[in-house]
Amino acid sequence: MTACIVGWAHSPFGKLEGETVENLIVTVANQALAHAGIGPKDVDEIVLGHFNGGFSPQDFTASLVLQSSDDLRFKPATRVENACATGSAAVHQGIKTIRAGAAKVVLVVGVEQMTATPGPEIGNILLKASYLPEDGDTPAGFAGVFGKIAHNYFQRWGDQSDALARIAAKNHKNGVNNPYAQMRKDFGYEFCRVESEKNPLVAGPLKRTDCSLVSDGAAAIVLADTETALRMDRAVAFRAAQHVQDFLPMSKRDILKFEGGAEAWKRALAQAGVKIDDLSFVETHDCFTIAELIEYEAMGLAPEGQGAKIALEGQTEIGGRLPVNPSGGLKAKGHPIGATGVSMHALTAMQLCGVAPEGMQIEGAELGGIFNMGGAAVANYVSILERIK
């Protein structure tokens, strides 16, 4: 345990009128430092997760964190990017800096502003996270990529529309209790299951309720080495932090297995010395409901092709065998690309400190798992967290 989360901040996710990338960064940076009980002068290094890819005209954004205080001037600041896992890439970069002994305190910020971009452009920007020689002409953009994955999964393992609807309904129900969530409405299973004017097909068998939301938002965490953290108000330690990168072309792998995610989970559980059922809950990357379904298999909750059973039996609901996405996940919370992984870590730390919002808190939570994925199971990050103070 070389690094701990000692403070955090989280903006609302959604269509945030009047906000800018700079404003979002400054707000959460200041709030996270205040929550940690330290000042900007105490920060040794800054890592910013910001995908951008054309969403915002302002690029080269690492130094925007310095806008929050002149006392951050001359501190090393770096922007990192790894598609939809950009936020976790920033977190893991901060952990590595602390582990190397190059810093005692690292400020990690994740941000994205997506809703100011016209719809067709959003699809084109997100599609850049696929392998363009093979998938560049996919209709419906990145949703089309996962629509193909869902179609192929159904061909191999049968129609799993009931399970996908259960996942969507679960996450929307959980999101009602998350004050940061973009969509706080319990749609119920029937609405999520039935194609309708309000819930049309988007790509392949995926309906609107199977797809995560286009969002603006930011989150920040403060990391400290364990010795420093234990002198502070709270310390949520990393029992494990693993990153596995897989091939970008889907043609070079069996895309229905999420093998990179499975390997990341295998390494993280071994590093933490625990089994999947030892975890109190998991925040996982449900960019699409089919992704969460396959992730059940990748994390070891179900054998290959049997993830639907986990969903249909309610095993991943709050109160079930292993609650998955008590925050509502990307499905309800929203998915501002660069902020997502940092948000997952902040919300997991809240859970483990017993201060998650009412109705979202997992009673007696001791170990929290996080899976953040970039592309179609290309960039795979797993963290396992435990509160030690």
Helix 289-298 and helix 161-175: axis angle, to 10°?
100
Token representation of residue 119: 């719809």
CA distance to 108, 131, 265, per residue, from 271 (Å): 23, 31, 10
| Residue 303 three-state SS | coil
127 within some domain? no
Q: Is residue 119 over pLDDT 90?
A: no
- Indicate yes or no: pTM above 0.75: yes
Span 2-45, pLDDT tens digits: 899 999 999 999 999 999 999 999 999 999 999 999 999 999 99
Average pLDDT over the chain reads 97
276 within some domain? no
Name the strand (E) or helix (H) holding 312.
Answer: helix 307-312
Q: Is residue 273 over pLDDT 90?
A: yes
Of 76, 51, 57, 58, nearest to 66 by C-alpha is 76
187 within some domain? no
The pLDDT, as a whole number, for residue 173 is 98
Q: Is residue 308 over pLDDT 90?
A: yes
Angle at 282 between CA 278 and CA 52, to 5 degrees: 145
Q: Is residue 1 over pLDDT 80?
A: no
Span 204-230, pLDDT tens digits: 999 999 999 999 999 999 999 999 999
Of 335, 299, 303, 329, nearest to 317 by C-alpha is 329
What is the mean pLDDT of the segment spanning 40-60? 97
- Beta strands at 281-283 and 367-374: parallel, antiparallel or unpaired: parallel
DSSP per position, 231-268: TSS--EEEEEEEEEE--SSGGGS-TTS-HHHHHHHHHH
Q: What is the CATH number of the domain that holds 20?
A: 3.40.47.10
The pLDDT, as a whole number, for residue 360 is 96
Token representation of residue 339: 């902020």
Answer for the pair 350, 339: CB distance below 8 angstroms, yes or no.
Answer: no
DSSP per position, 284-297: ---SBHHHHHHHHH
Amino acid of residue 50: H
- Beta strands at 379-387 and 236-245: parallel, antiparallel or unpaired: antiparallel
Question: Which domain, by its residues, includes 52?
Answer: 3-117+215-229
Total domains, the chain: 1
Token representation of residue 166: 């259960």
Task: Count CA atoms closer than 13 A to 259's CA, side-chain side.
Answer: 8
CA gap 226, 101 in Å, rounded: 12
220 within some domain? yes
The pLDDT, as a whole number, for residue 85 is 98
Answer for the pair 225, 2: CB distance below 8 angstroms, yes or no.
Answer: yes
The pLDDT, as a whole number, for residue 202 is 96
Give 106's strand partners: 45, 223
Phi/psi for 139 (5° steps) reads -60, 145
13 within some domain? yes
Of 153, 124, 137, 129, nearest to 304 by C-alpha is 153
The pLDDT, as a whole number, for residue 120 is 87
- Beta strands at 105-113 and 45-49: parallel, antiparallel or unpaired: parallel
311 within some domain? no
32 within some domain? yes
What is the mean pLDDT of the segment spanning 54-66? 97
134 within some domain? no
Angle at 327 between CA 325 and CA 331, to 5 degrees: 70
The pLDDT, as a whole number, for residue 225 is 98
- pLDDT-derived band at 140 (thresholds 50, 70, 90) equals confident
Which residues in the chain belong to E strands, given as ranges? 3-10, 45-49, 77-80, 105-113, 201-203, 206-207, 216-225, 236-245, 281-283, 367-374, 379-387
The pLDDT, as a whole number, for residue 74 is 98
Place of tokens 């994390």: 299
What is the mean pLDDT of the segment spanning 148-161? 98
Span 171-207, pLDDT tens digits: 999 999 999 999 999 999 999 999 999 999 999 999 9
